[in-house]
Amino acid sequence: MTAVLLLSAALAHPLGAAGASDPNGGMPGQRIEVTVADAEVRVDYYAEVAALRLYKEAREEGASGPSWALGRAESLRGGVKARWSGETLALSAVKVEPAAELKPTGYVEFHIASGAPLPSIAGTLEVRMDNFPDEPCYYAASVRLGGEFVATSTSLGRVLKGRLRDNLHGAWRRNEAGRVTTVALRTVRPWEDQTPGPLPERLEGLVDRSSEAVPAAIGTGFLVLLVAWVVRWRRRRRR
């Protein structure tokens, strides 16, 4: 709540707030942090908006006090959408603190979060940022996966000959393609590492072999050889 009160003061006195003289031209920034684990997806959405712009909007609406900032944050919720293999996910709101925070750069960062259960254990997740549809923005996206998932493909990068290429994970970019993030997921295989981590580490072709897989494979191989030797020994005795 303290951050919201500070924001209210900033909207009343937007000195140093970002505007036309700002290197970014006062463009909004939209960012998502997606977590897929335990059969659920959570989307944390952040919007960075120039304080001067918000001051003007609040003044035009005749608004004052911390409730306006909280309402402004909630107004962004409808612009965050998710689909699973083409099926729209019904995202439920998750409470976060603070919902609005004034940054030293003169921007206000709004934060909302939502989540939903996954309809299946494998599929393609698509998350959209549709706020500020008629103006240029900066976009960034990052994805974290539970150890039960491996990404087979994503709009945030690709694997070629065992190396990560075109890595956009967590990077800011200014193009409309940045509004949409996709990642195709499958379940982890027994010999693959099951350590949770960020998307680049959980991409197919980059996921390490499980530290338990080699000893298990050796043990299984030894057992197979032992059984085969016992069978041959018994056959020889019968002769």
At residue 65, the pLDDT reads 66
Once rounded to an integer, what is the mean pLDDT over residues 194-204?
96
Q: What percent of the chain lies above the pLDDT cut of 70?
A: 76
The pLDDT tens digits for 129-157 are 999 999 999 999 999 999 999 999 999 99
Say which residues have a Cβ less than 8 Å from residue 21's Cβ, sequence separation at least 6: none
- 0.85 cut: is pTM over it? no
Q: Is the pLDDT of residue 218 over 50?
A: no
Q: What percent of the chain lies above the pLDDT cut of 90?
A: 66
Once rounded to an integer, what is the mean pLDDT over residues 35-57?
95
The pLDDT tens digits for 70-100 are 899 999 999 999 999 999 999 999 999 999 9
Say which residues have a Cβ less than 8 Å from residue 96's Cβ, sequence separation at least 6: 44, 111, 112, 113
Q: Is the pLDDT of residue 237 over 70?
A: no
At residue 175, the pLDDT reads 93
